[in-house]
Amino acid sequence: MHLPPQHWTDWNFRIEDERCAGWLPPLHAYVAKAIGRLCLAGNDQPTVAQIAAEAGCHPRTVRRARARMRDRGLLETDPTFLIVDSRPQQRASVNRLLLPDGPVTPKPRLVRGGQAGRPSSVKEVRKPAHEQESRFAETLAVIARRRMVALGLAR
């Protein structure tokens, strides 16, 4: 079962939005589009190897991408089993492409502290606060004097 043709473009744009927001790595987006192309062609039960060949990646990448797509609500898979010698053997899963409601939110990024704990090779010399304030006041006085001279109010 695949998306109706009118929703196919929306699904492709949703995959790109998920990639740009940081939820899908670029290779996972290729896998998603490969699954979509196979479903659009009528093959809603491709094997991992077929998807990997279509996307040009390793089968393990396909498994990771499908898991992430399921977590994001873009794909639903139903495993299928075949009875062989009275034991069930799993076959390729049936893929259903889903179009989630709502906008894509950007993936939150980790706050990194930079190199705060790293010792600096250059020793920073800071003046005491009262010396900095007096220097600031002197600078303002010089600027005020220059403006007064420029306006002709003082010499």
* pLDDT tens per residue, range 84-116: 788 877 778 888 888 888 888 888 877 666 666
CA distance 31 to 130: 63
Q: What is the pLDDT of residues 127-154, one digit of tens each?
A: 666 666 777 778 888 888 888 888 887 7
- Alpha-carbon gap, residue 134 to 18, rounded angstroms: 54
**Which residues have a Cβ under 8 Å from the Cβ of 75 and sit 6 or more positions away?**
32, 35, 66, 69, 95, 96, 97, 98
Domain 5-97 fold is: Arc Repressor Mutant, subunit A (1.10.10)
pLDDT score at 33: 93
How far is Cα 28 from Cα 149, in angstroms, rounded to an integer? 68
- DSSP annotation of 72 reads H
**Taking all residues of the chain, what is their mean pLDDT, rounded to a whole number?**
82
Among residues of the chain, what percentage have pLDDT more than 90? 32
Contact 24, 68 (CB under 8 A): yes
Could you give the dihedral angle defined by the CA atoms of residues 106, 107, 111 and 115, in that order, rounded to the nearest 10 degrees? -100
Kindly tell me the sign of the dihedral angle through the C-alpha atoms of 19, 20, 22, 25: positive
